[in-house]
Structure 1
Amino acid sequence: MVTLELSGVGATPRAGIGTVVWHRGTTDLPEPPDPKTVDVDEQLAAFEAARERAREQLADERERARERVGDDEAEIFDAHRAFVDDPEITGGVEAAIENGLPAPHAVRQAFEDPIARLEGLEGSTAERADDLRDVRDRLLRILTGGDRTDLGDLPEGSILLAERLAPSDTARLDPDAVAGFATVFGGRTSHAAIFARSLGIPAVVGVGDELAQVGEGREVLVDGDDGVVVVDPDDAARERLGGAATAVTRDRVATTDGRAVEVAANVGTLAELDGAVEQGADGIGLFRTEFLFLDRDSPPDEDEQYDAYVEAASAFPGDRVVVRTLDVGGDKPIPYVDAPGETNPFLGERGIRRSLGPDADLFETQLRALLRAAAAVDELSVMFPLVARVEELDAALSRVEAVAEELADEGVDRAIPELGVMIETPGSAFVAEELAARAEFLSIGTNDLAQYVMAASRENARVADLHDPLHPPVLRAIRRTVEAGHEGDAWVGMCGEMAGDPDLTELLVGLGLDELSMSAVTVPDVKARVAECDAENARELAERALSATTRDEVLSILEE
Structure 2
Amino acid sequence: MTESDEERRLEGTGVTPAVGVGPVHWLAADLELPDPPDADAVDPSTERERVANARERALEAIEHEREATAERVGESEAEIFDAHAAFLTDPQLEDGIDEAIDDGLPAAHAVRAAFEDPIAQFEAMEGPMAERADDLRDVRDRLVRTLLGRESTGIPSGSVLLAERLTPSDTTGLDPDAVAGVATVTGGRTAHAAILARALGLPAVVGVGEELRELEAGTRVVVDGERGLVIVDPDPETRARAERERDLEPIAEPVETADGRPIEVAANVGGDDFAAAADRGADGIGLFRTEFLFLDREEPPTEDEQYEAYADALEAFPDGRVIVRTLDVGGDKPLPYREGAPERNPFLGARGIRVALGELSDLFETQLRAICRAAATEDGGDLAVMFPMIATVEELEEALARLEAAASEVAEEGVDRERPEVGVMIETPSAAFVADELAARVDFLSIGTNDLTQYVMAADRENERVADLQDPLHPAVLRAIDRTTSHGGDAWVGVCGELAGDPAVTELLIGLSVEELSMSPIAIPAVKRRVREIDSAEARALADRALEAETREDVRTLLDGE
TM-score (norm 2): 0.93
| Correspondence for 2:408 | 405
Deviation at 1:25, TM superposition (A): 5.6
Between the aligned partners of 1:412 and 1:175, the Cα distance in structure 2 is 44
| Correspondence for 2:35 | 31
| Correspondence for 1:249 | 251
Contact 1:545 1:554 in 2 (8 A): yes
Q: Does 1:171 align with 2:164?
A: no
Which one of 39, 56, 61 corresponds to residue 65 of structure 2?
61
| Correspondence for 1:425 | 428
Contact 1:50 1:142 in 2 (8 A): yes
Between the aligned partners of 1:46 and 1:337, the Cα distance in structure 2 is 38
SS of residue paired to 1:197: helix
Q: Does 1:441 align with 2:430?
A: no
Structure 1's 59 and 399: CA in aligned 2 closer, same or farther, altered over 3 A?
same
Deviates more, 1:158-167 or 1:379-388: 158-167
Contact 1:223 1:244 in 2 (8 A): no
* Structure 2 unaligned blocks of 5 or more: none
Aligned AA (1:458): R
| Correspondence for 2:95 | 91
Q: Does 1:49 align with 2:53?
A: yes
Aligned AA (1:268): G
Q: Does 1:451 align with 2:464?
A: no
SS of residue paired to 2:359: coil
Deviation at 1:24, TM superposition (A): 1.4
Between the aligned partners of 1:352 and 1:49, the Cα distance in structure 2 is 45
Deviation at 1:319, TM superposition (A): 0.6
Deviation at 1:135, TM superposition (A): 0.6
Deviation at 1:75, TM superposition (A): 1.1
Deviation at 1:169, TM superposition (A): 1.8
Between the aligned partners of 1:544 and 1:161, the Cα distance in structure 2 is 39
| Correspondence for 1:134 | 138
SS of residue paired to 1:178: coil
Deviation at 1:70, TM superposition (A): 1.0
Between the aligned partners of 1:207 and 1:72, the Cα distance in structure 2 is 27
Aligned AA (2:535): D
Deviation at 1:119, TM superposition (A): 1.2
Report 1:99-498 matches (<5 A): 99-149=103-153, 154-239=155-240, 241-245=242-246, 246-271=248-273, 273-376=274-377, 377-378=379-380, 379-413=382-416, 415-485=418-488, 487=489, 489-498=490-499
Between the aligned partners of 2:317 and 2:253, the Cα distance in structure 1 is 13
Aligned AA (2:278): V
Report 1:493-508 matches (<5 A): 493-508=494-509
Between the aligned partners of 1:56 and 1:402, the Cα distance in structure 2 is 46
Contact 1:15 1:243 in 2 (8 A): no
Structure 1's 336 and 57: CA in aligned 2 closer, same or farther, altered over 3 A?
farther
Structure 1's 553 and 25: CA in aligned 2 closer, same or farther, altered over 3 A?
closer
Structure 1's 338 and 116: CA in aligned 2 closer, same or farther, altered over 3 A?
same
Contact 1:331 1:345 in 2 (8 A): yes
| Correspondence for 1:80 | 84
Between the aligned partners of 1:236 and 1:539, the Cα distance in structure 2 is 34
Deviates more, 1:530-539 or 1:2-11: 2-11
Deviation at 1:59, TM superposition (A): 1.4
Between the aligned partners of 1:547 and 1:233, the Cα distance in structure 2 is 40
Structure 1's 374 and 155: CA in aligned 2 closer, same or farther, altered over 3 A?
farther
Between the aligned partners of 2:185 and 2:339, the Cα distance in structure 1 is 43
SS of residue paired to 2:484: helix
SS of residue paired to 2:478: helix
Between the aligned partners of 2:407 and 2:310, the Cα distance in structure 1 is 17
SS of residue paired to 2:253: coil
Deviation at 1:398, TM superposition (A): 1.4
Contact 1:156 1:178 in 2 (8 A): yes
| Correspondence for 1:20 | 24
Deviation at 1:426, TM superposition (A): 1.1
Deviation at 1:142, TM superposition (A): 1.7
Between the aligned partners of 1:143 and 1:112, the Cα distance in structure 2 is 18
Aligned AA (1:293): F
- Report how many residues are paired: 554
Aligned AA (2:324): V
Between the aligned partners of 1:557 and 1:22, the Cα distance in structure 2 is 36
Deviates more, 1:201-210 or 1:54-63: 201-210
Deviation at 1:5, TM superposition (A): 4.2
Structure 1's 17 and 470: CA in aligned 2 closer, same or farther, altered over 3 A?
closer
Q: Deviations over 1:372-413 (max 9, x none)?
A: 111122311111111111111111111112222222233345
Q: Percent identity?
A: 62
Aligned AA (2:182): F
Deviates more, 1:252-261 or 1:70-79: 252-261
Aligned AA (2:441): R
SS of residue paired to 2:22: strand
Deviation at 1:155, TM superposition (A): 4.3
Contact 1:40 1:100 in 2 (8 A): yes
* Structure 1 unaligned blocks of 5 or more: none
Aligned AA (1:348): G
Deviation at 1:117, TM superposition (A): 1.3
Deviation at 1:3, TM superposition (A): 5.1
Deviates more, 1:7-16 or 1:129-138: 7-16
Deviation at 1:339, TM superposition (A): 4.3
Runs of 4+ in structure 1 off by over 6 angstroms are none
Between the aligned partners of 1:413 and 1:50, the Cα distance in structure 2 is 58
Deviation at 1:491, TM superposition (A): 0.9
Contact 2:454 2:461 in 1 (8 A): yes
SS of residue paired to 2:296: coil
Contact 1:329 1:339 in 2 (8 A): no
Aligned AA (1:440): D
Report 1:509-524 matches (<5 A): 509-524=510-525
Deviates more, 1:345-354 or 1:96-105: 96-105
